[in-house]
Chains A and B, each alone.
Chain A
Amino acid sequence: MKIARHSFLEAGARTRVRGLLDAGTFREFCGPLARRTSPHLPLLDMPVAFDDGVVVGEGLLAGRPVLIAAQEGSFMGGSVGEVHGAKLTGLIERALDVRPDGVILLIDSGGVRLQEANAGLIAMGEIQRAVLAVRAAGIPVIVAIGGRNGCYGGMSIIARSCDWIVISEEGRLSISGPEVIEAVEGVEEFDSRDRALVWRTMGGKHRRLLGEADALVADGMDAFRDAIAGYLGRSRAHDLDSLETEQARLEARVTRFAECRDGVDVWAALGVDAPERVPELEPDAFNRLLGTLEETSR
């Protein structure tokens, strides 16, 4: 019996950064003393955070230079407002100047901060453009998802625009959140209180099986660090050919799984033995299972 002593899930943004980078190498930009706070929230009588809910900076991971951003899930659900978005964009664009071995985004967010609606939406576009520019320059952008808020809304679009996604089974990745689907389509379509269903359809294992994430890891600093380190310096093709291949894959997927009502149905269609047992599998066993499946997904 072994329980992770240093959980990624439970850690705050700064603890995550400290837990992943080599000790003593992190240098934060626009740190706490800079007090870069939202200009919009005070107008709504809402409290601000000294870092607007995101930590950005640079350091070494496994001895290699990286830029890193970590969203603070406990401040307004890691939501992206104007300042938060500008910090992310600025960090990513810096990669074009300093050419690190990777840009790492620790996402823990429900998406755009509704209180800063348009500013947040514009920010999403700017972040995505920065990601694509950095990728075009051959620098990998690596996403890690393993916080309580998961990765939803605009942040999910950004995550899927990056090179690599590392996710834990506690992590979630989807455009619309469970409550949003239930509110729009009704509880018959999706029961957001059925947490096991939420994870079977949006959780880390499902996203990995569908080819939406590249690595599934246990919840722990070491596991995330090792997986991220494996992607440093490794870019993924992002050209017309790769986009057309991806488009064909998604079209085939829509047809293939159109009748599936639950993650379990998808896994059965993928040829997983005992698909109902997938949620119980530990990451090692799950990754062995992946190895036995034919390369149908990605």
Chain B
Amino acid sequence: MGDSGTAIDGAVRDWGTLRERYCARMQRGAALAKDKVVAPDDVVALLEAVIEPGDRLCIEGNNQKHADFLAECLAEVSPERVHDLHIIQSNIALAPHLDVFERGIAERLDFCYSGPQGLRLSRLVKEGRLKVGAIHTYLELYGRYFCDLTPNVSFIAADAADHEGNLYTGPNTEDTPAIVEATAFKSGILIAQVNRIVDRVPRVDVPGDWVSFVVEAPRPYYIEPIFTRDPAAITEVQILMAMMVIRGIYEKYGVARLNHGIGFDTAAIELILPTYAADLGLRGKICKYMSVNPCPTLIPAIESGFVEGIHCAGSELGMENYVSERSDVFFTGRDGSMRSNRIFCQIAGHYSDLFIGSTLQIDLEGNSSTATLSRITGFGGAPNFGSESRARRHGSESWLMAGREAHRGNGMPRGRKLVVQIVESFREGLSSTFVERLDAWKLQESFGLPLPPVMVYGDDLTHIVTEEGIANLLLCDGPEEREQAIRGVAGYTEVGMARDPEMVRRLRAKGAVSYPEDLGVDKRLATRDLLAARSIKDLVRWSGGLYDPPARFRNW
């Protein structure tokens, strides 16, 4: 077998075009490199040499770590030489990510999350300078890297490289393995920006053989402490909701394997584990294994023996020493530093007993979305964690109990993952979290999307927790009961006021609606005195000085 064969029409087909193009690109790029190392000043020229018009290109960048120097260089290339790029990256967080559309270098975008660039992104869409393929979840985008959206060229960021191109990614691995494998094993060009070039890397995370070029960036890659929640900002309402979750869900179902979203609501749960949950005798019974980033608010729960294992999608600034000194809990390399990996973390989260997170809008079917009218921000990982995996078939007690509630003896016995939304009935600006119709419908119309951008679909959702109580959708029969259960916990919103009190009473009798008194939750205990840590400084104390918070979180 060679690189050529005979196609059905008799013409000779070349089966190695990608490889040939790779060799040609490498030859053009090699003129600018010494071995694999390219000087920072030559990077723009390198990109013009190796990128071809119409390429699919991925710039590593997620919530925290960004190949920001390479992103800036791409925004400087000549649009005459590099154009019509199809950008396929998870996060649109930095200005240069959109400068390439503004300058006519790129035209098409598939992404997951846009955060601070959300407003500008929607403007570029309206101006016709950017065509959105789809807003993906991380796993969906990674999946397409290995299907129809394989990158021709990828930029990644790493802590260190040696002269052979072996890379040490440091604690923030996140997207790296997905990007690297899809690119390197389908004749793509892989360019790494590193903080330093060394003789010997502490650990080889990416073999040098897979890497095309390396550049020592003029400054370390940008990193954002996005998972730090200051306990000082946690409210008594959030503490009340956390108490309800612990009694009404974690204790009831014996939830041992779970994933927490990263808001203040879940931080409140983490911070009352060592106090409230410990008093209930739940240590060793709930919250033993988590798939979540190393959020500093987890420190008291880890130190007091609640959480036994955590796999992380990424890292968090300031947590390096703590993670390294808790290798029984976190996944760390022989060198002591954490090895994160978003694919594996999300797969672990996908198959856990429970996901709990927050959202901006929920409709009467339980569909939820964080996409509101003025922004296209995407959803990050929540839809992956918050989808019920019907493929899973193992018998944790939590999974089986939820399955019994969902099926109630009808048909084949089957488990069920718990998917929980924890929200206050009103959010900022006194807008209602509960709506008859999601903004997502209007967004679909105005941006020409194939689907309304729903984060977690109602049929995946099992519970809604508000300051008023818990709606257990597993125990609802039919859409009418489901709607009334949702209204039954929607507080004084218009949706809540329109409840049918008689039906809500019936739902309460069968446990589909529960209020604090039904759950054995004493509302008077819902004060900040219940928090195991009430400030960032307290988290440092719990960590024995191992947690080193960024300056912006300090008040000492």
Q: Which residues of A contact B (CB under 8 A)?
A: 1, 3-7, 9-10, 169-170, 193-199, 203, 205, 279-280, 282
Contacts and interface: CB of A to CB of B under 8 A. Distances in A.
Contacts of B535: 9, 170
A9 B531 CA distance: 15
B540 A280 contact: yes
Nearest to A277: B545
Interface stretch (B69-77, B216-224, B401-409, B547-555): B547-555
A7 B556 contact: no
Contacts of B534: 3-4, 7, 10
B554 A279 contact: yes
A11 B531 CA distance: 15
A95 B541 CA distance: 41
Contacts of B531: 3
5 contacts: A10-B232, A10-B528, A170-B537, A203-B556, A205-B556
Contacts of B542: 1
B556 A169 contact: yes
Contact of B551 (A1, A6, A195, A282): A195
Given A6-B529, A10-B528, A1 B556 contact: no
B551 A194 contact: yes
Contacts of A9: 535
Contact of B554 (A6, A199, A205): A199
Contacts of A282: 541
B555 A195 contact: yes
Interface residues on B, range: 20 to 34
Contact of B538 (A3, A169, A195): A3
A221 to B, nearest CB: 12
B556 A170 contact: yes
B532 interface: yes
Contact of B545 (A193, A196, A280): A280
A196 B554 contact: yes
A2 B538 CA distance: 9
Nearest to A194: B551
B51 interface: no
Which of A3, A9, A169, A170 has the most chain B CB within a 10 Å cutoff? A3
B533 A3 contact: yes
B14 interface: no
A236 B406 CA distance: 74
B25 to A, nearest CB: 44
Given A1-B303, A169-B556, A195-B555, 15 more contacts: A1-B300, A3-B532, A3-B538, A5-B529, A170-B555, A193-B552, A195-B554, A196-B551, A196-B556, A197-B551, A205-B556, A279-B554, A279-B556, A280-B540, A280-B545
Interface in B227-257: 232
Contacts of B545: 280
B490 to A, nearest CB: 29
Contacts of A279: 554, 556
A54 B554 CA distance: 28
B143 to A, nearest CB: 40
Interface of B: 232, 300, 303, 528-529, 531-535, 537-538, 540-542, 545, 551-556
Contacts of A280: 540, 545, 556
Contact of B552 (A5, A170, A195): A195
Contacts of B300: 1
B528 A195 contact: no
A195 B534 CA distance: 18
Which of A10, A193, A197, A203 has the most chain B CB within a 10 Å cutoff? A10
A1 B555 CA distance: 20
B547 to A, nearest CB: 11
Nearest to A6: B529
A194 B552 contact: yes
Contacts of A194: 551-552
Which of B303, B531, B535, B545 has the most chain A CB within a 10 Å cutoff? B535
Nearest to A11: B528
B552 to A, nearest CB: 6
A199 B555 contact: yes
A50 B462 CA distance: 46
A28 B538 CA distance: 34
Contacts of B532: 3
Contacts of A4: 534
Which of A1, A4, A7, A196 has the most chain B CB within a 10 Å cutoff? A1
Nearest 8 CB-CB pairs, A to B? A196-B551, A196-B554, A195-B554, A279-B556, A169-B556, A194-B551, A199-B556, A5-B529
Contacts of A7: 528, 534
Contacts of A10: 232, 528, 534
A114 B36 CA distance: 62
B317 to A, nearest CB: 14
B268 to A, nearest CB: 15
B236 to A, nearest CB: 11
B449 to A, nearest CB: 37
A280 B535 CA distance: 14
Contact of A195 (B529, B533, B541, B553): B553
B306 to A, nearest CB: 14
A3 B552 CA distance: 22
A81 to B, nearest CB: 27
Contacts of A199: 554-556
Contacts of A196: 551, 554, 556
A152 B495 CA distance: 46
Nearest to A4: B534
A123 B51 CA distance: 70
Nearest to A282: B541
Nearest to A172: B555
B327 to A, nearest CB: 21
Which of B531, B538, B545, B555 has the most chain A CB within a 10 Å cutoff? B555
A205 B528 CA distance: 25
Contacts of A1: 300, 303, 541-542
A193 B554 CA distance: 10
A280 B529 CA distance: 23
A7 to B, nearest CB: 6
A5 B532 CA distance: 9
A193 B556 CA distance: 14
A103 B553 CA distance: 35
Contacts of A5: 529
A150 to B, nearest CB: 10
B304 to A, nearest CB: 8
A194 B553 CA distance: 9
Contacts of B538: 3
A280 B41 CA distance: 42
B300 to A, nearest CB: 8
Contacts of B529: 5-6
Contacts of A203: 555-556
A103 to B, nearest CB: 28
A250 B529 CA distance: 42
B483 to A, nearest CB: 39
A6 B530 CA distance: 11
Contacts of A205: 556
A65 B534 CA distance: 33
Nearest to B550: A196
Which of B232, B300, B541, B551 has the most chain A CB within a 10 Å cutoff? B551
Nearest to B532: A3
Nearest to A10: B528
